[in-house]
Amino acid sequence: MTTKKGRKISGGKYIKARKKKLCERASQGRTVKLGEDKRKTIRTRGGNTKTFNLKSKTVNVGGKKLEIKNVLETPSNRFLARQNILTKGTIVETASGKVKLTNRPTQEGVVNGILLKE
């Protein structure tokens, strides 16, 4: 006998105890692209707010703001670098040299990084 998904062995349905609360629902996926600074603020659980980037053209390196010229490589996915998408671990080109992003821009309103030795 083949079993049907979401059914008991007797044929009855499994019924959820409850639906997901608003705070438990997944939010829309976000990507931070290279471009003029653009941020968005959303309400989170408990009435708090979360500010995140949608576009960014600067990176904070040791207290200085450097302009991002180009996205060189993204270790997690090589196709993200082609689309100029900024994620944690991405290596970008600036006037001072190569910078590795150390934070998650989709979770925070800033882009931080460290200068790589060449």
User: Considering only CA atoms, which of 57, 58, 67 is closest in space to residue 94?
Assistant: 67
In a domain, 45, yes or no: yes
What does the mean pLDDT of the chain come to? Answer: 91
The answer to whether position 4 is within a domain reads no
The span from the CA of 5 to the CA of 61, in Å, is 52
How many folded domains does the chain comprise? 1
Domain holding 49: CATH number? Answer: 3.10.290.70
Q: What average pLDDT does the segment 86-108 reach?
A: 94
Which of 97, 112, 15 is CA-nearest to residue 58? 112
- Answer whether residue 15 is part of any domain: no
Measured distance CA(114)–CA(117) in Å, rounded: 10
User: Residue 96 belongs to what domain range?
Assistant: 29-115
Of the pLDDT bands very low, low, confident and very high (cuts 50, 70, 90), residue 1 is low
pLDDT tens figures, 12-25? 999 989 999 888 88
| 86 within a domain of the structure (yes/no) | yes
